[in-house]
Homo-oligomer: A and B are copies of this chain.
Amino acid sequence: MELDKKIEAILFWKGEPMSIKKLSQILSVSEEEIKAAIENLKIKLEGRGISLMEKESEIMLVTSGEASELIQTLTKEELSKDLGKASLETLSIILYQGPVKRSEIDYIRGVNSQFILRNLLVRGLIEKISDPKDARTFVYKPSFELLAHLNVKSIEELPEYEAVRKDIESFKSAGVEEEKKTEALSDSESLENEIQEDSELKANEDSI
């Protein structure tokens, strides 16, 4: 794969400015080679909807100038749209359970919440912070603005706060009991099966 394509992929994926130095490290080539590839990429992007923006020694991909008006309209529209059932449900889980990991939200909802969380973040209804218990992952919590908007001074003031939390806890601990039961039974299962189960289990951790 040519260097300019690799740079294109990285910048598209990141959506943030990146330094030439950093790119040269990632791609294990000299900064001169990166610069040459950037010139190449600029040519390749002619006639495309995205362009390369350079600032000092940083570069990033942005939507082409003529599209900016369109994007503005879309942003406004997105912010004024109704949240919808799935978003409200996700928001309510974050409200009652937050700070909460995405895997936990997904587990309770039974579906993947990736795009919904993105939208709630953009609308300033929730915040994404590093998990204090594990810096590699994130947790979601209601934003201050949301709590103020709801006129809730502390989370415990939420309707039936204790009851809701207890219900969710008991759902989760029901899972724990099941787990124990299988462990007790596991000696009658073949070793091969167990290994398979185990790898399936691992695959699910945090990839959610």
Determine, out of A12-20, A155-163, A165-173, A182-190, the stretch whose residues face the partner at the interface: A12-20
What does DSSP make chain A's interface, helix, strand, loop or mixed? helix
- The answer to whether A9 touches B70, judged by C-beta atoms less than 8 angstroms apart, is yes
The distance from the CB of A107 to the nearest CB of chain B, in whole angstroms, is 6
- The answer to whether B199 touches A84, judged by C-beta atoms less than 8 angstroms apart, is yes
- The answer to whether B49 touches A12, judged by C-beta atoms less than 8 angstroms apart, is yes
- The answer to whether B124 touches A114, judged by C-beta atoms less than 8 angstroms apart, is yes
Q: How far, in angstroms, from A208 to B80 measured CA to CA in the complex?
A: 8
Q: Does A73 contact B (CB under 8 A)?
A: yes
The one of B9, B85, B115 that contacts A16, using a Cβ cutoff of 8 Å: B115
Q: How far, in angstroms, from A199 to B84 measured CA to CA in the complex?
A: 7
The one of B11, B14, B76, B200 that contacts A87, using a Cβ cutoff of 8 Å: B200
Q: How far, in angstroms, from A158 to B122 measured CA to CA in the complex?
A: 27
Q: How far, in angstroms, from A203 to B124 measured CA to CA in the complex?
A: 13
Q: Does A21 contact B (CB under 8 A)?
A: no
- The answer to whether B12 touches A12, judged by C-beta atoms less than 8 angstroms apart, is yes
